[in-house]
A and B are shown apart, each in its own frame.
Chain A
């Protein structure tokens, strides 16, 4: 495939465009999609880029179809992806569950919007439950929560590679603010950075005959025997647990010597890290923990933090969706949990700083 990005270059973009360019750099062959705010420009820019770079696009009748056609593309060996938000993410969960059962490398970008239902189009972190565990089955999927345009680019490339390497559905989880906001980033060709690109290959119509040098392509999502299902699902779970340490990513700052750790993900983590830095400068012993992978969650790392600091402040633009993951990770340990939950609203560093100063007896 031709090099879509000729040379490393500083550019100025909106987040949705970054996803389209990241997919281009990741050698995506085709996007299937249905319009929904705030992800529309992922499609708009992909459709402007695709003809210039020999890639393809199909507009489907809804997100259910976008998900299943993405699976179709993947079955044919194409690096296929889709992007959606909110109610579209709900429809997408059925094909994602199928991909999970069949172990298909499906890639999706989600630009979260407010909910429940159609709600607002601009900004929210209320699709964490849905994206990390929305399907039936065991939620064996990878979810990267990004905070900057550079990360949107880096993790879009990574999402394709993780999906094709580990064969689990993989999400890039952004939000409406990241989707629409504008900031600079560096675009590059991943191979030039030494990124190993996981190869894509067809799942059906493979070359040769099964039994003669290759295994049969055995793709199933329906099972008639409970024991048989159990065996297959347990195998998937074992695979998932085995690769978890390789996939898990997080940022931990100043948590070792802290009286309080602020936990946030995605765009809110930018406000949280700014708050942590400012509070530190003022003499407050505050740490910062940000899961980059929401699934698998950095359980081990957070439990380690909890052993030195057991007071947490979870900050999110949702009502406890990140906190649920945090509590599950810390189960059995003694921990105090404070919160700033603002579903569908933006959170500033000033808000977090004010909260910490008012609530805590951490005073210098």
Chain B
């Protein structure tokens, strides 16, 4: 069984963390050993830190700072935790949540061996309701800034106002992005309570990942 190594990247507030958390938990439910790495060094107060204990109780290992070990959650300077740098030396599947858009992704080279790792997949999470990644052209231009993207997760939604139109329009746009760039669409992610909109496990030919919402609990 080869191990799964995935890095979730994308526009600020596109849903990277929610997708990474759900993916990690899903793999754990399949009986796999999973390590979730919180790689947001720009906004440490909006990261997985407050969820660490909860997620660990759900059966995954989380590499994130503990509130008691941090100082100045913002401008006082933030350091990479040694366990983050050496995360790939751990056993099991590794899911990286790489926060804060393209700027945030620039720290990914601090993870030892990351870019040489042959199993690594870099997945861009895209929500077309985010105005700067709403059109085919804008999304392609944005994905180019990352240098490398191995797959796209369509996470198009409007929060509590999400309807079928939003999801379908997202699919249409992302399908076109995929056609032009050749980057495959890995999945459509849809909030669990909208299951009735998206059917069971497949929507317009794409696998669906249903998301439980964890991030609202992570705000400080």
Interface residues of chain A, those whose CB is within 8 Å of chain B, are 9-14, 17, 21, 36-38, 41, 44-45, 48-49, 118, 120-123, 177, 180-184, 187, 346
Contacts and interface: CB of A to CB of B under 8 A. Distances in A.
Interface residues of B, number: 22
A48 B132 contact: yes
Interface of B is mostly: loop
26 contacts: A9-B131, A10-B158, A10-B161, A11-B130, A11-B131, A11-B158, A12-B158, A17-B13, A17-B131, A37-B75, A41-B12, A44-B12, A45-B132, A48-B132, A118-B75, A121-B75, A122-B45, A122-B220, A180-B219, A181-B219, A182-B13, A184-B158, A184-B159, A184-B161, A187-B131, A346-B220
B139 to A, nearest CB: 14
A49 B127 CA distance: 18
Contacts of B157: 12
Nearest to A49: B132
B68 to A, nearest CB: 16
Contacts of B160: 183-184
B108 interface: no
Interface of B: 12-13, 43, 45-46, 73-75, 127, 129-132, 134, 157-161, 166, 219-220
B130 A121 contact: no
Q: Which 8 A-B pairs give the minimum distances between C-beta atoms? A: A121-B74, A12-B129, A37-B74, A184-B158, A184-B161, A184-B159, A122-B220, A11-B131
A121 to B, nearest CB: 4
Contacts of B219: 177, 180-181
A179 to B, nearest CB: 11
A12 B75 contact: no
B11 to A, nearest CB: 10
Contacts of A187: 131
Contacts of A180: 43, 46, 219
Given A21-B131, A184-B160, A13 B73 contact: no
Contact of A12 (B74, B130, B220): B130
Nearest to A182: B13
B194 to A, nearest CB: 14
Contacts of A17: 13, 131
Nearest to A18: B131
A12 B45 contact: no
B130 A122 contact: no
